Structure 1
Amino acid sequence: MIDHVRPAQLSAWFATAPEGSMPLVLDVREPWELQTASVRADGFELVAIPMGELSARLAELNPARPTACLCHHGARSLRVAAFLDHHDFERVANITGGIDAWSHEADPGVPRY
């Protein structure tokens, strides 16, 4: 099942993770987007794998780890979350609104584009 989590709710979603598991934010945007705006890892690990490379790099991710997917507005990350869910990842979330919403709700220092 895919959870839908707003950036302002992400800490609460991470808090429901099993004890001892470091949550992951999987940023699926393109490299130029990462250069334009990026989030700061705080209480989670941040990994960037562009959506188009994910199937080839899937083995880099741990299916048992809580994983929240991030893109620009939430459409690509929702597709990636569905892909991960299909590949038996245990806890998957889409960060609804993407990095654009992150700028509004979690960190106004993140540039909008």
Structure 2
Amino acid sequence: MVFQISPRELADAIAAGKPVYLIDVRKPWEHERAALPGSLLVPLDELTERADEIEPPPGALVVAYCHHGVRSLSAAALLDRLGLPGVASLRGGIDAWSREIDPSLPRY
């Protein structure tokens, strides 16, 4: 079962200065439109081939996100199978983030 983190929980972790490693699994055009700062773009359909690019610092909270939280669930499960345990999926995706945390982030 994939762990999900709410936008508020993620925002609180960032505000508290906890190390967070964000993986955006959307398409490049989506990332250009709206993205969480510092996130690594690895589209879901490229995740298996590019998994070696994902190098979170020790102790970091690793969070995959997408538009509404569906692709990121798949991404977190895939990364777990590839040996990166403990990856969370952002519940509701960047859309929920823009509604609940940062309304200045464009919705689409």
Following superposition, the deviation at residue 8 of structure 1 comes to: 1.0
The yes-or-no answer on 1:82 pairing with 2:71 is no
Distance across 1 between alignment mates of 2:44 and 2:64: 10
Structure 2 unpaired stretches of 5+: none
The yes-or-no answer on 1:52 pairing with 2:53 is no
Deviations along 1:52-82, whole A, 9 cap, x unmatched? 1111111111376531000000000000000
Q: How does 1:93-108 map to 2 (within 5 A)?
A: 93-108=88-103
Distance across 1 between alignment mates of 2:33 and 2:65: 15
Deviations along 1:61-105, whole A, 9 cap, x unmatched? 137653100000000000000001112213210001001000011
Structure 1 unpaired stretches of 5+: none
- Aligned pair count reads 104
Kept after mapping to 1: 8 A contact 2:27/2:43: yes
Supply the AA of the counterpart residue of 2:97: W
Root-mean-square deviation (CA), in Å?
2.0
Kept after mapping to 2: 8 A contact 1:5/1:13: no
Distance across 2 between alignment mates of 1:89 and 1:30: 22
* Of 10, 27, 30, the match for 2:27: 30
Kept after mapping to 2: 8 A contact 1:73/1:96: yes
Kept after mapping to 2: 8 A contact 1:66/1:90: no
